[in-house]
Structure 1
Amino acid sequence: MGPNLQSGEQLRPIDLARGHGLSTQAVRNYEEAGILPAAGRTAHGYRTYTSLHARALRAFLALVSGHGHQTATSIMRSVNRGAVDEAFRLIDESHVQLLDDRRTLQAVESALRGLAPGKPTAASGPADRFIGPLARELGIRPATLRKWERAGLVRPRRDPSTGYRVYDEADVRDARLAHQLRRGGYLLEQIAPLIAQVRAAGGVDPLEAALRDWHGRLSARGRAMLTGAAELEAYLCERA
């Protein structure tokens, strides 16, 4: 929590910084980045801040938790230059991404429910695919599939006459799972053992804990967005 301020009360950079566990340099950096409104200056040239700056800082830090540093920075810059509609558009886009991530999680769970013990998931289209068509189907680059192969996420065979990679149903299943989990924020080194266990066990139990964690992170992000919205609204009201 920041300091309790009366409107118009002046703060030194260190006062604003201490209230949020930051360094004075971080506060100056935020001002220079346009996250905070321009500071006032004393007769000797020292920065002075007010309750408006404290409110802006609270809004920014709350927005970071839900939207990430880059988007939160863009939102605050837009507000501070008077482009409030642009800030709202950025927030809308972030909510759309959260919705997409929720749908991604649902797609992963749906894909996993379709896994029968010892049997790969059936995929739409031809049973076997070459690297180009599979990459296009997933919306990724062929180089990404090659990277996943090096990480052990997919294990295509080679066509004996051409040497081209051939992905069968099991490979397509693994590529789909890898793609969905990557979108969920998982690293390759986290995904590889999960896929390996699914292959070995013929089931999806190893992914249940990861999916619960994913649900939790999405819920936390949604709540953080609500907190960020409340703090931003308070800042907008104080600016009015």
Structure 2
Amino acid sequence: MGRNLQSGRRLRPIDLARGHGLSAQAVRNYEEAGILPAAERTPHGHRVYTPLHASALRAFLALVPGHGHGRATEIMRAVNRGAATEAFRLIDESHAQLLDDRRTLRAVADALRDLEPASTPGPGAGPGARAAFIGELAGRLGLRPATLRKWEHAGLVRPRRDPRTGYRIYDEADVRDARLAHQLRRGGYLLRQIAPLLDRVRAAGGLDPLQSALHDWHGRLSTRGRDMLTGAAELDAYLRERG
């Protein structure tokens, strides 16, 4: 490390906690978790923090909104053990996930444009939306049949049953709903959030709620991208201070 932890003024846990809505114990927990560099101790065993620790705390808290608590923790641990390359790899993975989520959003928007704003099921699910059995549809979507059964229980898809065999048959509207449910799940929506959207899609003029969901999703992705920039700036400042 480029500078001694004792350099600069000494700070108590409460000094670091102030201004962040944290407790002194939370600061100590962050140190024990490797989020902050190890603090030196006084002869009486009290932790001695420095402005470097304050910089590490700011970096971590700035990383959390864009990367999540777990990934931000991994990034800071890597930096504090001198493995900056590992930290950069973790950051790259978060950016790759954000890009993948943007592509997913675009895919959902494209699927939505293919839908007919009508309550009657029709060929509105786009290419490849012909009727299918559960195994075939699961294969198309890269899911397990058990997932489709779970979605059926939650009201996301409503396949009919073959009267002779009892097999589930997913018609074009079911395939459409399954595709949309799959994309929305990838976008972070819960089953209980998706079900009412698809209920409205099935009704006349029911595409508006899905349009609203896509708008909200777009906003959340933009916010995450901005949060990643903020986190990167604070992490860069911490790396420079470490030397």
Please tell me the TM-score bracket, short chain as reference: over 0.9
**2:147 maps to 1:128:** no
User: Equivalent of 1:147, from 143, 147, 150?
Assistant: 150
Unaligned stretches of 5+ in structure 2? 1-6
Q: Which runs of 4+ in 1 moved over 3 A?
A: 122-126
1:148 counterpart letter in structure 2: W
Residue 117 of structure 1 and its aligned partner are, at CA, apart by 2.8
Give the aligned residue type for 1:131: I
CA RMSD of aligned residues (A): 1.6
How many residues are treated as equivalent by the alignment? 235
Q: Report the counterpart of residue 113 of structure 2 in structure 1.
A: 113
Residue equivalent to 2:183: 180
- Superposition map of 1:208-219 within 5 A: 208-219=211-222
Q: In structure 2, how many angstroms separate the alpha carbons of the residues matched to 1:231 and 1:48?
A: 22
How far apart are residue 134 of structure 1 and its match?
1.4
Q: Which amino acid aligns with 1:221?
A: R
Q: Which SS does the other structure have where 2:203 is aligned?
A: helix
What residue in structure 1 maps to residue 4 of structure 2? Answer: none
**Offset of 1:19 from its aligned partner?**
3.0
Distance in 1 of aligned mates of 2:105 and 2:53: 38
- C-alpha separation in 2, matches of 1:117 and 1:239: 58
Give, in whole Å, the separation in 1 of the partners of 2:162 and 2:100: 36
Identity percentage over the alignment? 78
Matched letter for residue 152 of structure 1: G
Distance in structure 2 (CA, Å) of the matches to 1:209 and 1:234 = 38
Residues of 2 paired with 1:43 and 1:64: CA distance?
34
Q: Quick check: 170-179 or 109-118, which moved more?
A: 109-118
Q: What amino acid is aligned across from residue 31 of structure 1 in structure 2?
A: E
Q: How far does residue 9 in structure 1 lie from its aligned partner after superposition?
A: 1.0
Amino acid at match of 1:14: I
TM-score when scaled to structure 1?
Answer: 0.93
Identify the range of structure 1 (54-63 vs 117-126) with the bigger mean alpha-carbon deviation: 117-126
Deviations 1:157-188 (A, max 9, x none): 11222222111111010011111111111111
More displaced stretch, 178-187 vs 123-132:
123-132
- For residues 44-96 of structure 1, the C-alpha deviation after alignment (integer angstroms, 9 at most, x for no partner) is 00111111111101100110010101110111111111111111011011001
Contact 1:116 1:202 in 2 (8 A): no
SS at match of 1:201: coil
**1:186/1:120 Cα in 2 relative to 1: closer, same or farther (>3 Å)?**
farther
CA distance in 2, matches of 1:56, 1:146: 47
Residue identity opposite 1:51 in structure 2:
P
Amino acid across the alignment from 2:208 = D
CA distance in 2, matches of 1:126, 1:9: 67
3-state SS in 1 of match to 2:22: coil
- Once residues 102 and 225 of structure 2 are traced to their aligned partners in structure 1, the CA distance between those partners, rounded to angstroms, is 10
Q: Mind listing any 5+ residue stretches in structure 1 that lack a counterpart?
A: 1-6
- 8 Å CA contact 2:65, 2:228 repeated in 1: yes
CA contact (8 A) 2:123 2:129 kept: no
Aligned pair in 2 of structure 1 residues 209, 126: CA closer, same or farther (>3 Å)? closer
Counterpart pick for 1:226 among 220, 226, 229: 229
Question: Residue 160 of structure 2 is aligned with which of 149, 157, 161?
Answer: 157
Secondary structure class of the residue paired with 2:132: coil
Shift of 1:34: 0.7
Does the CA-based 8 Å contact 2:129-2:176 persist in structure 1? no
Residue of structure 2 equivalent to 1:24: 24
The corresponding residue for 1:68 is 68
- Return the offset for 1:133: 2.0
Determine if contact 2:114/2:126 at 8 Å carries over to the other structure.
no
